[in-house]
Structure 1
């Protein structure tokens, strides 16, 4: 899965371990959940960290909900669940890997 390179312009807030936003491990970097967006540091600016396509997370038997014990992160019009270094979102009867 590739990630789009879309700079988050006019982003004056610097994210880090003490900024108060949820840290979301994502491959080789950390995203920060902020106002329904996921931001990552990139070449001196902040990027929106969004997948470039639809990637279903196969063989995912676990059902996420508000009581499953995994951290919830608002992401646009839905909620992602942080699980084993992935963000899972419900989609058409399966879980997407964001």
Structure 2
């Protein structure tokens, strides 16, 4: 077995499953879709869902060079008022990123922090 096959098998065995998820995610289902590694995930109620076989996987965006988790107080994207506060009902889809929650704003991740929004990098939005 190749190292790629071994890695894929280990990932399949170690992924987290979202229990009792009746909604079927697909193009046009009403949830924002983003490209995540080699698959498509859907932002749904603060979760990153990936339809997989007969169940739904729970994913988290990694803290990496593309999506760093650093403080960027100088960030001003202009996609919302400076007084806007991200939270469960702010109108932006929540995305798990590392050990915290970010919000999808105009193709990139915002993290509310110390009175400003940190820029945690771009994501490829598909819908």
Structure-1-length-normalised TM-score: 0.60
Q: Which has the higher strand share?
A: 1
**Cα distance in 1 between the residues matched to 2:76 and 2:54:** 38
More helix by share: 2
Residue aligning to 1:74: 94
Aligned to 2:24: 14
Q: Deviations over 1:34-72 (max 9, x none)?
A: 1111100223210111146x43279xxx754534xxxx5
Sort the Cα spacing of 1:82 and 1:42 in 2 relative to 1 into closer, same or farther, 3 A. Answer: farther
- CA RMSD, Structure 1 to Structure 2 (Å): 3.6
Unpaired segments of 5 or more residues in structure 2?
A: 1-10, 81-91
Distance 2:31 2:24 in 1: 11
**Which blocks of at least 5 consecutive residues in structure 1 are unaligned?**
none
TM-score by length of 2: 0.49
How many residue pairs are counted as aligned between the two chains?
Answer: 88
Between structure 1 and structure 2, the one with the greater Rg is: 2
- The CA deviation at 1:12 is 0.5
